[in-house]
Amino acid sequence: MIPSCLIMLGRAPLAGILAVSIFLASCSTTEAAEPSGRPLHCDDARFWLGNMFWYHRFTTEEISAATGMSIPEVDEALRTHGIWTGNHPGWPVMKVLPYPGGRHPRIGFLDGAIDPQRETKFSVFTPWGDGSYVVVDLPEALWSNLGLTYLAHTHVPTIWTEKGIKLEPLEWNCGRGGRLEIERRLPNGIAFRVKVVPAADAVRMEMSLTNGTSVALSDLRVQACVMLKGAAEFEKQTNDNKVLTNPYCACRSSLGIRWVITAWEGCVRPWGNEKCPCLHSDPQFPDCPPGETKRLRGWLSFYEGDDVHAEFDRIEATGWRN
């Protein structure tokens, strides 16, 4: 019997065993804390399998848990699409991929992120060639004078859950060079868009918000989370390894010479959650009258050295906010 949540992988029928599609993660019998999601809209089955197996290094069991395929089906799909450990495509600088779900991106505080949505999350792989990655959740949350206007997981009520309105699931649109884009239009006319552009030295991010309501919006705070579970040397559950300034926030590796750095213009809250663990430079949009659009720009990079404050100065000199 095929569950009603069976859906096609990608936008068109696929060759080989993956033509049978994959299951929504919400149909999985594994913990409810796993990210729920559907197949990506990027390319084809080989992209999806390569994302999980080559880059996120999912086991066949994890691929099975994320997709609903049986272990033999996963093995056959990997063979069909020529995906195995020995032909890994390599680690280009600033590799960015949609986070595939099926594995919770946090170590702890899982009750604060039940059923995390895949559509807001992307992975940025470190430049050190060890397969480590951070997961950016953008936006993890969006507040306004109306209340909690968007939340990328289940934790506390939003203005939509209080009204019994369920938001439709979305996916990243994948472009050349690892560029990602997504747009969410909320039932009251508010729309937000996220663009992710990897470059040789950093990942540039932009979030815009359009006020399609008839009233002015204020208190437009964004929670932009950088989760560290998948990054070797950075996953220690502590805030003692973090430097929190405004807007630059950094996490130091356990070896003391490598850093993950993030920043957002309009930062109103630099902080870290030691339980996840994660890093935040949370921004706030300017007040937004009806019909207007406001934008914020963000930065994420990696650094190897002993003077992270000098690196903050170097980043500032790039003019990334422009």
Is residue 232 over pLDDT 50?
yes
Residues 6+ positions from 72 with CB-CB distance below 8 Å: none
Query: Strands 180-185, 173-174: parallel, antiparallel or unpaired by DSSP?
Result: antiparallel
pLDDT for residue 284: 98
Residue 12 domain-assigned? yes
Domain that holds residue 231: 98-317
Judgement on whether residues 10 and 83 belong to the same structural domain of the protein: yes
Give residue-wise pLDDT tens across range 64-103. 877 888 999 999 999 999 999 899 988 877 899 999 887 8
d(CA 145, CA 166): 21
What sign results for the dihedral spanned by CA atoms 149, 151, 157, 161?
Answer: positive
Q: Pick from 238, 241, 230: which is nearest to 249 by CA?
A: 241
Instruction: Look up residue 156 and give its DSSP letter.
Output: S
Judgement on whether residues 66 and 192 belong to the same structural domain of the protein: no
Give residue-wise pLDDT tens across range 132-183. 999 999 999 999 999 999 999 988 999 999 999 999 999 899 888 889 999 9
What number of other Cβ atoms are within 10 A of residue 274's Cβ? 15
Give residue-wise pLDDT tens across range 259-305. 999 999 999 999 999 999 999 999 999 999 999 999 999 999 999 99
Judgement on whether residues 241 and 140 belong to the same structural domain of the protein: yes
Is residue 25 over pLDDT 90?
no
Q: Pick from 204, 321, 222: which is nearest to 265 by CA?
A: 321
* Domain end among 55, 90, 125: 90
Judgement on whether residues 68 and 175 belong to the same structural domain of the protein: no
Mean pLDDT of 208-216: 98
Residue 1 domain-assigned? no
Are 64 and 76 in contact by the 8 Å Cβ rule? The answer is no
Are 283 and 298 in contact by the 8 Å Cβ rule? The answer is yes
What number of other Cβ atoms are within 10 A of residue 295's Cβ? 15
The CATH number of whichever domain residue 217 belongs to comes to 2.70.98
Is residue 258 over pLDDT 50?
yes
